[in-house]
């Protein structure tokens, strides 16, 4: 009786060659490099979002300070809240009458002290910050983007708070910093009526 099992000659087990392993490593490396780039972009976007949120909170806080001191905030000329400030941020005549143990004599002195303290916090939270607070009837240019320039001679009761800061360039491969070339936060503020 012949054997039911036919013995076959076994082919030698073919394994991965060194070339196949190297190709797999190269493909894996490209995938990992893509993930690293994505991680870096994610960190940059997270940082930008955090700074944008901080600037918005600071602008809203400034608006509330102006609303709390309406008599001064509605002044057309001599308004201590109005100005253009670049880093390091400080008003022309800083005031510290809001510190513990001292009092501000007038509403204007209170406004000057509020501005001094607020600008110091903006400078601490936003890198290379620039702030412009002005009466502006057209805070956006013809392209629809915000501009630093304020409408000269604007007689509106609306005060616009513009805040910008230094950020990394969004252009691919450009390592330069964007030195607040345009405001990132634009907040119109109405002081309300004096009644």
Please write the tens of the pLDDT for every residue from 64-116. 998 888 888 776 677 888 889 988 888 888 888 888 778 888 888 888 999 99
On whether the CB atoms of residues 85 and 58 are closer than 8 A, the answer is: no
Write down the pLDDT at residue 25. Answer: 93
- Confidence label for 195 from pLDDT (cuts 50, 70 and 90): very low
Cβ atoms within 10 Å, residue 17 = 9
- Distance, CA of 173 to CA of 181 (rounded, Å): 19
- Distance, CA of 85 to CA of 131 (rounded, Å): 5
Instruction: For residue 171, say if its preceding peptide bond is cis, omega within 30 degrees of 0.
Output: no
Digit-coded pLDDT (tens) for 137-189: 888 888 888 988 888 666 667 889 999 998 765 555 555 566 678 898 999 88
74 — phi, psi (to 5°)?
-90, -5
User: Can you give the pTM of this predicted structure?
Assistant: 0.74
Which of 84, 107, 88 has the alpha carbon at shortest distance from 97?
107
């Amino acid at each position: 009786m012949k054997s039911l099992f036919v013995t076959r000659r076994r082919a030698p087990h073919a394994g991965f060659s060194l070339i196949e392993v190297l190709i797999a490593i190269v493909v894996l490396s490209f995938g990992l490099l893509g993930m690293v780039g994505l991680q870096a972009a994610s960190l940059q976007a997270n940082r930008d979002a955090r700074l944008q949120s901080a600037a918005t909170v600071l602008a809203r806080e400034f608006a509330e300070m102006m609303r709390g001191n309406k008599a001064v905030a509605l002044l057309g000329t001599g308004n201590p809240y109005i100005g253009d400030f670049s880093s390091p941020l400080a008003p022309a005549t800083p005031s510290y009458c809001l510190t513990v143990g001292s009092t501000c004599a007038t509403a204007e002195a209170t406004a000057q002290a509020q501005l001094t303290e607020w600008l110091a916090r903006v400078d601490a939270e936003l890198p290379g910050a620039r702030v412009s607070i002005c009466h502006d009837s057209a805070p956006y240019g013809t392209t629809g983007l915000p501009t630093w320039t304020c409408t000269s001679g604007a007689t509106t009761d609306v005060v616009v708070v513009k805040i910008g800061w230094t950020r990394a360039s969004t252009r691919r491969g450009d390592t330069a910093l964007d030195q607040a070339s345009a405001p990132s936060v634009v907040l119109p503020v109405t002081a309300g009526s004096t009644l």
